[in-house]
Amino acid sequence: MCNIIFTWGHRLRYFVLLLLLLPLISCSKEPTKTLYSDLHDYSFTLEHVPYAQLFKNRERIFDTWNAEPQDADGVYLFPYAGGLYYHPVNLCFKSLEALSDYDHTAEPKYLSHAEKSMEALRRNAVRYKNMLYFPYQFDFSEGTQVTYTAPWFSGMAQGTALSAYCRLYHYTENPLYKAVADSILATFTDFDSPYSGVLISAEDTLLKGPRYYWVDEYPMHSRRYVLNGSIIGSMGLYDHWWVFGDDLSAKLFSCEMTSIKDNILLYRNPSERSAYCLLYRQKYVDYHIVHIQLLNLCTLLTGDEYFAAISDLFYADSH
């Protein structure tokens, strides 16, 4: 994931104090009304971090540009249930990894791979009004009672695609990539179409209450509130602000971070691993580690130490 150093020993000493003085230590303001129907929003002041600290970047080379199987253009094909598919999140991750490698090496093969991969996704995208959606073309069941029937859509896929196109523009200044990024950004205010990957929580939500903005990894069935997919999906909003300085993407990212801050303890299982989602509450070793890393990233991008304090709490729960 990201280069985030856990300062576990230091933070644990002050954890109780952090919780007691939470209103004072937060770098955010009290909740205020927003442009979007009174969504909860602490109006975070975002930190413009160095490129190397953006989501999915790391110091070591990934070198996943030549992973197989591939199509005729060298774009990775995801093998699943006897077929080969363009997997939206997988291809976006491969593109972000290639761009991280390009940042380290300036070797054109990495930039070229990212461009080819994202353009393969774009060719298969669904355009709705001024928005661009990236479908999964295979049915999927991850062991829950729900099967996602193709074509299905994901807020996590939208967010990782937004990250990739923003970073492609950062390196190339190709106006096509900005146009695509803006078309993807528009999907983050689409709450009503059949393709929508975001939601505003209702009265009967699994969250603490209504009016929370949420990037939804699995939006087409029962609301599950998957933690890692929501945070990762929202990184596209941060990247759009990071590249273009856009007020809308900053506002929506702040709303998402507010939702995470207010609801993160719902995922906690004291002395156990954190819940993958709020509906089924599965406990996975790998995703618990991802939660710890992502919460540290939230502190890095917002300046709010509360996320890091909960990261330390999650770490303590599993050690």
pLDDT category at 221 given cuts 50, 70, 90 is low
Q: Is the pLDDT of residue 37 over 80?
A: no
pLDDT the model gives residue 195: 97
Q: Do the Cβ atoms of 132 and 187 come closer than 8 Å?
A: yes
pLDDT the model gives residue 4: 42
pLDDT digits (tens, 9 = 90+) for 194-214: 999 999 999 889 999 999 999
Q: Is the pLDDT of residue 138 over 70?
A: yes
Q: Which residue has the higher pLDDT, 7 or 98?
A: 98
Please state the rounded mean pLDDT for residues 154-168.
98
pLDDT the model gives residue 185: 98
Give the rounded percent of residues in the chain with a pLDDT score beyond 70.
Answer: 87
Please state the rounded mean pLDDT for residues 69-93.
97
Which fold, 8-317? Answer: Glycosyltransferase (1.50.10)
pLDDT digits (tens, 9 = 90+) for 276-300: 999 999 999 999 999 999 999 999 9
Task: Indicate the burial class of 59 (C-beta count within 10 angstroms; 0-12, 13-18, 19 or more).
Answer: exposed
Q: Chain-wide mean pLDDT for the chain?
A: 91
Q: Do the Cβ atoms of 49 and 117 come closer than 8 Å?
A: no
Q: How many CB atoms lie within 10 A of CB 285?
A: 9
